[in-house]
Chain A
């Protein structure tokens, strides 16, 4: 295995992760809710009764880049290379899959693993494995990117 040391960002990633953990702790201890993004969005799509709270959380996420620019400065620049048809397919798969599994990277990966849930461990291993396999097929078998 080769490590891409030039792209490794241990401090920013660890600090960013801790912020994510803090946000999940906040929502849990103050609002009593799991900070699962797909669950919050899914409840909005299904018009769940507690939609105001879900909408508030989602709006916070959407507003984060704007507030970052106001408070901190220039935003980190994302690198996007996926062609549109593939991006749309990816979005649909993420939407269906996360609802079927009742959770995504945040709900299962962060919150579920934090509470030592066997269910979330199985989910996390499954999506990490399938995501890594997908990248392997795309990059190393099909030679994309």
Chain B
């Protein structure tokens, strides 16, 4: 129960961060991505602020095997550079650039009861469902 409550609070705090930072405003995200137009550099500071904090947490975690609530630490591979990684990221970027919404802000917009948020999240979940059959045809 403590583990679930902890994950819920982490999600809540993450959502607050997205709201406060401007990440949950698609027009602002597009303004950041539009480097050739009138560029809004704000979101570079979101990245910088997040990394400045999380860097220390990861440095600590790399020396441990278990988290404070008892579960083993699950850290993915750092070094495998694959075609899938690049291809997937390019496709993700294409979608992100079209609407200015990535997965976290999509959930926050859905939580604001905005139809656009619901549509985006539904389409994203559909894409995640499509991934498995599609995955077999890819290198």
Contact = CB atoms under 8 A, between A and B. Distances in A.
Given A13-B49, A139-B34, A140-B37, A134 B10 contact: no
A60 B111 CA distance: 10
Contacts of B40: 3-4, 7-8
Nearest to A60: B11
Interface string B39-54: 1111101111111111
B27 to A, nearest CB: 4
A87 B119 contact: yes
Contacts of A10: 42, 45
The number of chain A residues touching the other chain, given as a range, is: 35 or more
Interface string B58-87: 101110001111011111111111001111
Contacts of A14: 45-46, 48-49
Contact of B67 (A31, A134, A136): A31
Interface string B18-58: 11111111111011011111111111011111111111111
Given A29-B68, A134-B97, A16 B46 contact: yes
B125 to A, nearest CB: 6
A25 B127 CA distance: 28
